[in-house]
Chain A
Amino acid sequence: MSRARAVNLLLFAMLPVTALVALALDEPFIITLATKAAILALAGVGLNIALGLGGLVSLGHAAFFGLGGYAMGILAHHAQTFTPLMEAPFLIEGTKSMPVIWLTAAIIGAIAALLIGALSLRTSGVYFIMITLAFGQMLYYFAISWPAYGGEDGLSIYVRNGFPGLNTLDPIQFFAIVFTLLAVVLFLAGRLAAAPFGLALAAARQNPERVETVGLSPYRLRLLAFVISGAITALAGTLFADLNRFVSPTMLSWHMSGEIMIFVILGGVGRLYGPVAGAALFILLEHILGGLSDFWHVYLGLLLLLVVLFARGGMIGALAGREVAHD
Chain B
Amino acid sequence: MTEPLLQIEGLHKSFGALKATDDVSLMLVPGEIHALIGPNGAGKSTLIKQIAGGLAPDAGTIRFAGEDITALPTPARARAGLGRTFQISSLAMEYTVLQNAVLGAVGQRGSVWRFFKPVMGDTELRATAMAALERVGLADHATTRTAELSHGQRRLLEVAVALTLKPRAFLMDEPMAGLGASGSKRLTGFLDGLRREAPILLVEHDMDAVFALADRISVLVYGKVIATGTGDEIRANPQVREAYLGEEDAA
Where the two chains meet, the residues of A that have a C-beta atom closer than 8 Å to any C-beta of B are 188, 191-192, 194-200, 202-203, 206-207, 209-217, 221, 325-327
Contacts and interface: CB of A to CB of B under 8 A. Distances in A.
A327 B120 contact: yes
A199 B114 contact: no
A217 B112 CA distance: 10
9 contacts: A196-B125, A199-B102, A210-B100, A212-B73, A212-B75, A215-B107, A216-B107, A325-B94, A325-B143
Given A200-B112, A215-B79, A325-B96, A194 B90 contact: no
B36 interface: no
Contacts of B53: 212
B52 interface: yes
B25 to A, nearest CB: 25
A202 B108 CA distance: 18
Contacts of B95: 202-203, 206, 325
B79 A196 contact: no
Contacts, number: 117
Interface of B: 52-54, 73-76, 78-79, 84, 86, 90-96, 98-100, 102-104, 106-108, 110-120, 122, 125, 142-143, 145, 161, 164-165
A196 B114 contact: yes
A190 to B, nearest CB: 10
A207 B96 CA distance: 14
B127 to A, nearest CB: 14
Given A325-B145, A327-B143, A199 B103 contact: yes
B117 A195 contact: yes
Contact of A202 (B92, B104, B112, B143): B92
Nearest to A206: B92
Nearest to A195: B115
Contacts of B161: 210, 213-214
Contacts of A327: 96, 98-99, 120, 142-143
Contact of B90 (A198, A213, A221): A213
Nearest to A198: B119
B92 A212 contact: no
A200 B106 contact: yes
Given A199-B119, A325-B94, A209 B145 contact: no
A325 B97 CA distance: 10
B74 A212 contact: yes
B125 to A, nearest CB: 8
A212 B72 CA distance: 12
Contacts of A325: 94-96, 99, 143, 145
A326 B115 contact: no
A212 B53 CA distance: 9
A210 B92 contact: yes
A199 B78 contact: no
B124 to A, nearest CB: 12
A210 B91 contact: yes
Contact of B78 (A191, A192, A215, A326): A215
A192 B102 CA distance: 16
Nearest to B91: A210
A213 B52 contact: yes
A53 B91 CA distance: 17
Contacts of A191: 115-116, 118
Contact of A211 (B84, B86, B103, B122): B103
Contacts of B73: 212, 217
Contacts of B117: 195-196
A196 B119 contact: yes
Contacts of A211: 75, 103, 107
B116 A215 contact: no
A206 B93 CA distance: 7
A118 B111 CA distance: 22
B91 A212 contact: no
Contacts of B112: 196-197, 200, 216, 221
Given A200-B106, A213-B74, A325-B99, A195 B92 contact: no
